[in-house]
Amino acid sequence: MKSSIKSALFAASLVAGAALVPVHAAEDTTVVLVHGAFADGSAWNKVIPILQKQGVKVVSVQNPLTSLADDVAFAQRVIDAQSGKVVLVGHSWGGAVITQAGASDKVKSLVYVAAFAPSEGEVVGELGKDFPLPPGIASLKPDNNGFIYLSAESMAVNFAQDLTPAEHRLMTATQGPIKASAFGDKVDVAAWKTKPSYYIVASKDRMIDPGLQKSFAAKINATTTTLPSSHVPMASQPEAVAKVILAAVKR
């Protein structure tokens, strides 16, 4: 009798344990996160633990932000290092990077987070000319080496206005300046034409006009989610951003 009870309890524990394992945990899929300008890989620090808790492997790329080709090469190196399929996620300028790097056979889907989604032959610097100039863009500061920055004030008012002052200071200290000439680099391939795509529109964005974001989402026929956030929804609404990424993983 005791043996039967023990066997029953053991079987029940296995069933209960299996129920706690996320459906997608066994899939050999890696989420590769690509940050944008004025940021670094830590921009995803609130999203990464949520994905990892669901059993998803995650890698955050550290872009040099020196040219489109350089950033694509860094992303491609990370993609190539993965053993299985990749969900490629790009924020802001990172959208241009995943548009090109996403052509890899390993990439199964793309997620754009308040990001540029150019077509072949387009340059990021010319996108949005039919939309109002966002206040954050007007505030950019160049240095003597051809790189551009956001001031601490603009970081707080235009880039991440829905975060705390402490977070503003941290993001200002860790921001990655981008080479201004990168905005003139042409995209050679548009991976969204052949890969399922998702788009998160940040409706209170002051860096990329929300109307332009909506036009990108429509152009690439993306599954679209709109969040009432600043330019950095992955920092202000990480659970909502993670939910979209997980949908791409499960697809």
Q: pLDDT value at position 20?
A: 34
Q: pLDDT value at position 27?
A: 65
With 90 as the cut, is the pLDDT of residue 230 above it? yes
**Separation of alpha carbons 204 and 115, rounded Å:** 14
For the whole model, what pTM was predicted? Answer: 0.89
With 70 as the cut, is the pLDDT of residue 228 above it? yes
End-to-end CA distance of the chain: 46
In the predicted model, what is the mean pLDDT of residues 142-153? 96
**Strand intervals (E) in 143-189:** 147-149, 178-179
Q: Write the CB contacts of 2 (distance below 8 Å, at least 6 apart in sequence).
A: none
**Separation of alpha carbons 94 and 249, rounded Å:** 19
With 60 as the cut, is the pLDDT of residue 53 above it? yes
Per-residue burial over 111-135, b = 16 or more CB atoms within 10 Å of its CB, e = otherwise? bbbbbbbbeeebbbeebbeeeeebe
Average pLDDT, rounded, for the chain: 91
pLDDT, tens digit (0-9, with 9 covering 90-100), for 54-96: 999 999 999 999 999 999 999 999 999 999 999 999 999 999 9
In the predicted model, what is the mean pLDDT of residues 146-171? 97
With 50 as the cut, is the pLDDT of residue 18 above it? no
